[in-house]
Amino acid sequence: MDFGRLDEIRDELIALYRDLHAHPELSFQEHRTAAEVARRLEELGLEVSTGVGGTGVVGVLRNGDGPTVLLRADFDALPVEERTGLDYASTRRGTTADGTESGVMHACGHDMHVTCLLGALDVLVDARQRWSGTVLALFQPAEEIGRGAQAMLDDGLLERFPRPDVCLGQHVFPFESGLVGMMSGPSMSAADGLKITMFGRGAHGSQPQNSVDPVVMAAATVLRLQTVVSREVGADETAVVTVGALHAGSKENIIPEKAELLVNIRSFDEEVRGRVLEAVHRIARAEAAASGAPREPEFDPSTRFPLLVNDADATARTASAMRSGLGPEAVITLDRSMGSEDVGLFGTAAGVPTCYWFIGGTDPAEYRAAVERGTAARDIPSNHSPFFAPQIEPTLSTGVRALTAAALEWLG
């Protein structure tokens, strides 16, 4: 298909991407980003609504009778201090919802997602004579904490705006730029975030006999949790248990009164998920009892991402359109990912198919060389790394083309 309009706006999109990357904002704090998105949607002639689900932005592009296609991009950043060394690197700092101050970085590529969707909308506006229907463009907040999609739904997304017939979206990922990776069926894992607070009895560091040490209790729990997957999950099943943080104490000679563990659990099956969660609770309680803790641990769920299931027929149809629009060599099949996304909530709530794909963001020569060395896992920065920096081109152009080709396939 003809992407001539993309050639005209490419430099502007690159400038926008660099600006967004340099000005990241944490979940539900994306005010500058939302304002910029809304301004650009209005310039394109879309109907624009702001503040949807907190800081979300919705653009509606109507073009006669036909299907409604939902195109989604997320736009929150992460509490990560950037170390890429780019001339447009973020130097911003922010405060998370729990009061923690940190650097702020688009370490997951959401700035690329926003830029690609705005570019695709520009191309679709320019090509209105080629399609008929409605485009529902969602710019979603707070994906990183798994709350943004639900917040937009709770704010009446499906009642206030045209109801979609299909939900489409994409994510940049560390494989060769210029390629689009497709998956069918269960594609991205469910994820549960959990804060476990373990209680002890404080004392002076010189008198451990007077304490119930929550640091030792927590350390034993961390080690024992490593047996959940290795000993309670079958070889033909999939799960991950990660302890991402352990917080306790304030001074080397003070035994504190409590310790906190932040635990992440990922799975592709609801029965496995339930079994792993039960094991995590059981082990934490048992270690507390073994230590003589004065009270049982507290368990506070923090995040919950649903299993992302790509509809098989919708994926096959979308992949075929991308092969026609981008070339057959540009579309590859990927294995399912242990990463998580909340985009599937839109399709589930609307009762329509979802198709979500990946675009490569790594220089092809660097990627192939790392694969040949067997060092890709070490040398290619992944999402959420402080060194994550997608190659702007051809990543940006590929993302615009992929979204446009997919949307045109579903529009009348």
Question: pLDDT value at position 3?
Answer: 78
Residue 400, number of CB atoms within 10 A of its CB: 26
pLDDT tens for 356-409 read 999 999 999 999 999 999 999 999 999 999 999 999 999 999 999 999 999 999
Backbone phi, then psi, for 368, in 5-degree steps? -65, -40
DSSP character string of 313-324: HHHHHHHHHHHH
- Looking at residue 148, its amino acid is G
DSSP character string of 262-310: EEEEEESSHHHHHHHHHHHHHHHHHHHHHTT-SS--EEEEEEEEPPEEE
Is residue 71 within a helix (H) or strand (E), and if so which, with residue range? strand 68-74
pLDDT tens for 143-173 read 999 999 999 999 999 999 999 999 999 999 9
Q: Catalogue all structural domains in the chain, each as residue range(s) with its CATH number.
A: 4-188+307-410 (3.40.630.10), 190-304 (3.30.70.360)
Spell out, as residue ranges, where the chain has pLDDT lower than 70: 1
DSSP state, residue 199:
E
Question: pLDDT value at position 1?
Answer: 66
The C-alpha angle with vertex 142 and arms to 140 and 147, in degrees rounded to 5, equals 100
Residue with tokens 């309670």: 232
Calpha distance 161→164 (Å, rounded)? 9
Is residue 312 within a helix (H) or strand (E), and if so which, with residue range? helix 312-326
Q: How far apart are the first and last CA of the chain?
A: 16
Number of H helices, E strands in the chain: 12, 18
Question: pLDDT value at position 358?
Answer: 98
Backbone phi, then psi, for 130, in 5-degree steps? -95, -5
DSSP state, residue 205:
T
